[in-house]
Amino acid sequence: MTELKNELIRHSAADLAAKLAAREVSAVEVTQAHLDRIADVDGQINAFLHVNTEEALAVAAEVDAARAAGGAAAEELHALAGVPIAVKDLIVTIGQPTTAGSKILEGWHSPYDATVIKKLRAAKMPILGKTNLDEFAMGSSTEHSAYGPTRNPWDLDRIPGGSGGGSAAAVAAFEAPLALGTDTGGSIRQPGAVTGTVGVKPTYGAVSRYGAIAMASSLDQIGPVSRTVLDSALLQEVIGGHDPFDSTSLTDPFDNLAAAARVGNVAGMKIGIIKELHGEGYQAGVENRFNESLQLLKDAGAEIVEVSCPNLKYALGAYYLIMPSEASSNLAKFDGVRYGLRALPQDGPMTIERVMGATRAAGFGDEVKRRIILGTYALSAGYYDAYYGSAQKVRTLIQRDFDAAFSNADVLISPTAPTTAFKLGEKANDPLAMYLNDVATIPANMAGIPGLSLPGGLADEDGLPVGVQLLAPARQDARLYRVGAVLESILEEKWGGPLLAQAPELKTPALGAASNSAGGSN
Amino acid sequence: MAAINRDDVAHLARLAHIEMSAEELDRMAVELAVIVDSVKSVSEAAGEDVPATSHPIPLTNVFREDVVGHTFTAEQALSGAPDAYENRFKVPAILDED
């Protein structure tokens, strides 16, 4: 049985879907195998803040019943029906708590589902639980979670990236075949890079943000997390599409993504290396794996060109003005009145203003406070033009740079992150060093264009995963999946299998090593 | 552009409704000064003639039919409230006087 379970959790979502459709395996078996894996290893990883056992098994049983009944009930099932998924705890769900990784929302239950959750429910994909994140998605390591950090399955002393470290680690540790993330400056792609998994930030507006607790509304985007490029394409097709509840939602169709992942060639495509996003400041092993991917794409018939985006040097600075400005406004609603924590002042008059001050002091962690103060500063009278206004102009310059680059290339390519996973605590007291992790991912959010990170191999010096990032023009998400799937297939041929096959085995009770069982409650 | 100092942080914390201890103000002031210094170059990046981008993919006139859609019941709306009374959010005194 252990053998069978171990096999089940290692399949891609696409393979599981095929096995389910062929009735080789039941949705309950698949879901239970992942719940067992969570119980076995999540004590070490801390990817899950909540495990949704009963509901997940009930949804799986519905899928099995529909398949068993045959006829219309079986015909109507979505291709991914019965394939389980984990959800970043920034996305609201009925029936499970949503914390955003913050004490201020501890125990809070949303009275509504996010649009992406409604779509998962319509597709009958069992939701395994909610995954850990930096508080309100502010961070690059999950160390800013109020519920303890998530650990990288490749090395438990290292960070899994962030803010979506829980989703990436869950997928890397075979606790879930798929997960949802959110990406404001790299929170899907950078965790993907450092855990050897795939993560995609779709075009801004391609996936509804309704029900994702907002950090920076003009930058936030929900997207897929998976172990294969095709799986992310399949998941983006489930969660994407126009939503009247999100006024920034696009009406364009994005229905050719899985097909693009199956095209299987890049011959004649022009792939642009962004001059400013590699070289100095990038770890040698990252640079080596990146150059190797370039050579492989060239061997596969792609034309490699160099492009320059000179204004990217301002992107990080502009991001750290726009994001906190929007975050300080978005987080004003956490005031101890309508939901979440209420803390009372220790002494003095008990006015609502003082209750707000005490609540936000007790409920928010340091990084959230830093960003709120920074945003309040950037938006204050006398500074607005110099800070927020200038940063918005930089966004225009970055968009123009990308427009020019895409006139010479179909997709652009760079390392996803400048380094491999660093040690827990290494950058905890240096906010600026932490921010530099996102130097290569932030530009896509600033411009609204889609980006994908896939595993590019292991760095020679530390044996840890390196991510390769692909960028495409707005609305051309399909190009990412086409090129990404080809590169993935060439690399896997070279490695003799998926990169995650090289990850160390996690200790499980079945292997006789004692470990904490049960990740979270149900 | 002016550097950010401890008094600024204290003022901003009041505006943002976050109570801060003396120790926290000291630490925040140092950290924020470093961050603000690192973003200074942004104000020199773009000339007067560059338009601002507020949303990456601008959409205009996003309307819907003027009909009542989904609404929460009072019970749902109050379900996460720290305190409620007779279908209303209950808060401490709004005015700073007896």
Query: Per the domain annotation, does B77 fall within a domain?
Result: no
Of the candidates A385, A332, A338, A74, the residue with the CA atom closest to the CA atom of residue A217: A332
**CA–CA min distance B87, chain A (Å):** 12
For chain B, how many structural domains are there in total? 1
Q: How confident is the model at residue A229 (pLDDT cuts 50, 70, 90)?
A: very high
Average pLDDT over residues A279-300: 96
Of B45, B56, B64, the CB nearest to A204: B56
- Give the up-direction half-sphere exposure of residue A437: CA atoms within 13 A in the CB hemisphere: 33
Best interface-test mutation with A: which of B43, B61, B67, B98 has the largest number of A CBs within 10 A? B43
Quick one: closest CA in A to B88, which residue? A338
* The residue count for chain B: 98
Report residue A512 as tokens.
């006789």
List CB contacts (< 8 A) between A320 and chain B: 35, 38-39
Pairing mode, strands A411-415 and A270-274: parallel
User: Which amino acid would we find at residue A93?
Assistant: T
CATH code at position B24: 1.10.20.60
Active site residue A517: no
Three-class secondary structure of residue A317 per DSSP: helix
Could you say which of B1, B4, B31 has the minimum Cβ distance to residue A431?
Answer: B31
Distance CA A395, CA A509 (A): 51
What residue of A is the nearest CA neighbor of B28?
A370
Q: What is the pLDDT of residue A6?
A: 78
Determine which one of A141, A145, A163, A226 is catalytic. A163
Please tell me what DSSP assigns to residue A203: P
Query: What is the structure's pLDDT at A522?
Result: 38
A398-417 residues touching B, CB cutoff 8 A: 399
pLDDT for residue A514 is more than 70: no
Selected for mutation to probe chain A from B4, B8, B11, B17 (highest A CB count within 10 Å) is B17
Question: What pLDDT is stored for residue A521 in this prediction?
Answer: 40
Contact B91 A391 (CB under 8 A): no
* Integer Cα distance of A294 and A516 in angstroms: 42
What is the mean pLDDT of the segment spanning A420-445? 93
How large is the greatest C-alpha to C-alpha distance in chain B, in angstroms?
56
- Using CB atoms and an 8 Å cut-off, which of residues 196-215 of chain A contact chain B? 203-205
Residue with tokens 């009145």: A337
- Does the structure show a pLDDT above 50 at A515? no
Asked if A427 is an interface residue toward chain B (Cβ–Cβ < 8 A), one would say no
User: Which amino acid is residue A346, in one-letter code?
Assistant: Q
Establish if B49 touches chain A: CB-CB under 8 angstroms.
no
Contact A394 B45 (CB under 8 A): yes
- B49 CB neighbours in chain A (<8 A) are none
* Distance (Å) from the alpha carbon of A44 to chain B's nearest alpha carbon: 32
Span A267-275, average pLDDT: 97
Size of interface A-B (CB pairs under 8 A): 184
Which tokens belong to A108? Answer: 């809070």
The residues near A266 (Cβ < 8 Å, ≥ 6 apart) are A297, A300, A301, A302, A482, A483, A486, A487
Interface contact B51, partner A, CB < 8 A: yes
| Residues near A39 by beta carbon (within 8 Å), at least 6 away in sequence | A517, A518, A519
Q: Confidence class of residue A518 from pLDDT cuts 50, 70 and 90?
A: very low
Residue A87 to residue A105: CA distance in whole angstroms: 17
Residue B21 resides in a domain = yes
For chain A, give the mean pLDDT: 95
Residue B29 in any domain: the answer is: yes
Prediction ipTM score? 0.94
Tell me the sheet residues that pair with A415.
Answer: A468
Q: Are A398 and A185 in contact (CB under 8 A)?
A: no
- Provide the pLDDT for residue A441: 98
pLDDT exceeds cutoff 50 at A95: yes
Q: Is A315 on the interface with B (CB under 8 A)?
A: no
pLDDT of residue B96: 66
Does the beta carbon of B17 lie under 8 angstroms from any beta carbon of chain A? yes
Instruction: For helices A315-330 and A390-406, give the axis angle rounded to 10 degrees.
Output: 130
How close, in Å, is residue B26 to chain A by CA atoms? 12
Query: What is the band of A516 on the pLDDT scale with cuts at 50, 70, 90?
Result: very low
What is the crossing angle of helices A53-69 and A27-45, to 10°?
Answer: 160
What pLDDT does residue A348 have? Answer: 85
**Is A187 an active-site residue?**
yes
Which one-letter DSSP state was computed for residue A8? H
Spell out the domains of chain A, with CATH numbers in brackets: 5-244+256-313+395-502 (3.90.1300.10)
DSSP string, B79-94: TT-S-EETTEE--SBS
pLDDT greater than 80 at residue A163: yes
Q: How large is the average pLDDT for residues A408-428?
A: 96
Question: Which of the four pLDDT bands, split at 50, 70 and 90, describes residue A304?
Answer: very high
Summarised one tens digit per residue, pLDDT across range A371-408 is: 999 999 999 988 888 899 999 999 999 999 999 999 99
- CA A180, chain centre distance (Å): 6
Q: Which residue stretches of chain B have pLDDT < 70?
A: 1-2, 96-98
Strands A178-182 and A222-226, sheet pairing: antiparallel
Q: CB neighbours of B46 closer than 8 A, spacing ≥ 6?
A: A390, A393, A394, A396, A397
The verdict on residue B52 lying in a domain is no
Report if residue B7 sits inside a domain. Answer: yes
B93–A386 CB contact, under 8 Å: no
Say which residue the tokens 């067992």 belong to.
A36
Mean per-residue pLDDT, A155-174: 98
Chain centroid offset of residue A46 CA: 16
Per-residue pLDDT band at A4 (split at 50, 70, 90): low
Higher pLDDT among residues A7 and B78, named by residue: B78
A163 is catalytic: yes
Distance CA A397, CA B42 (A): 11
**d(C-alpha A248, C-alpha B72), whole Å:** 23
HEC secondary structure over A409-441: CCEEEEECCCCCCCECCCCCCCHHHHHHHHCCC
Least confident among A461-475, A484-498, B9-23, B57-71: B57-71
Asked if the structure places residue B89 within a domain, the reply is no
Angstrom distance (rounded) from CA A182 to CA A200:
9
User: Which residues between 71 and 90 in chain B have a beta carbon less than 8 angstroms from any beta carbon of chain A?
Assistant: 72, 76-77, 79-83, 89
CA distance A445 to A430: 23
Q: Which of A5, A19, A88, A118 is catalytic?
A: A88
Q: How far does the CA of residue A320 sit from the closest CA of chain B (Å)?
A: 7
> Rounded to a whole number, what is the distance in Å from the CA of A28 to chain B's nearest CA?
32
Task: Please report whether residue B35 resides in a domain.
Answer: yes
CA angle A369, B79, A128 (to 5 degrees): 75
Interface contact B22, partner A, CB < 8 A:
no
Domain span at residue B26?
1-44
Give the confidence band of A510 by pLDDT, cuts at 50, 70, 90.
low
> Could you report the per-residue pLDDT of A426-435, keeping only the tens digit for each?
998 888 888 9
The predicted model scores a pTM of 0.96
Does B20 fall in a domain?
Answer: yes
Strand partners for A85: A127
pLDDT (average), residues A7-23: 97
Average pLDDT over residues A165-194: 98
Which stretches does DSSP call E strand in A105-240? 127-131, 178-182, 198-201, 222-226
